[in-house]
Amino acid sequence: MTTKFFADTYALIEIFKGNENYRLISNEHIITSTFHLAELYYYLLRSCDEALADKYFDECEENCIEISTTALKAAMKFKLINKKDRLSQADCIGYARACELGIPFLTGDSKFEGKPNVTFVK
């Protein structure tokens, strides 16, 4: 299976919530990072319960990939260049890793709308 998207936490939450705009995308192969998985888990703990949070964590864990040191450096340069946007560190890391892999960064964060290599879905 070919990887189609690198999902940020926003996208993972919208897929979890069943947002109709993410319906077709959720059928594609989606990867993420442990940073985004941690944020998803926190969201699920706050909004649902631990059993459900554990269930989705376990399902998503197999789609987590490692972050290279090259991507970490690129992410912090990207964050610095875009400091006026106050982008999250996790999203900058995800964006840099997606660029490194040559796959779209999937997000609904309006701060990424219009940036190269981004699939923006609200």
pLDDT for residue 120: 97
* Domain ranges (residues) in the chain: 5-120
Give domain 5-120's CATH architecture. Answer: 3-Layer(aba) Sandwich (3.40)
Comparing CA positions, the residue from 2, 3, 1 lying closest to residue 32 is 3
User: Do the beta carbons of residue 120 and residue 101 sit within 8 Å?
Assistant: no
Per-residue pLDDT of the chain (122 residues; tens, 9 = 90+): 566 999 999 999 999 999 999 988 877 899 999 999 999 999 999 999 999 999 999 999 999 999 999 999 999 999 999 999 999 999 999 999 999 999 999 999 999 999 999 999 99
pLDDT for residue 25: 83
> Using CA atoms, how far apart are residues 15 and 43, in angstroms rounded to an integer?
13
Q: How many angstroms from the chain centroid is the CA of residue 111? A: 14
User: Model pTM?
Assistant: 0.92
Supply 94's token pair.
């995800």
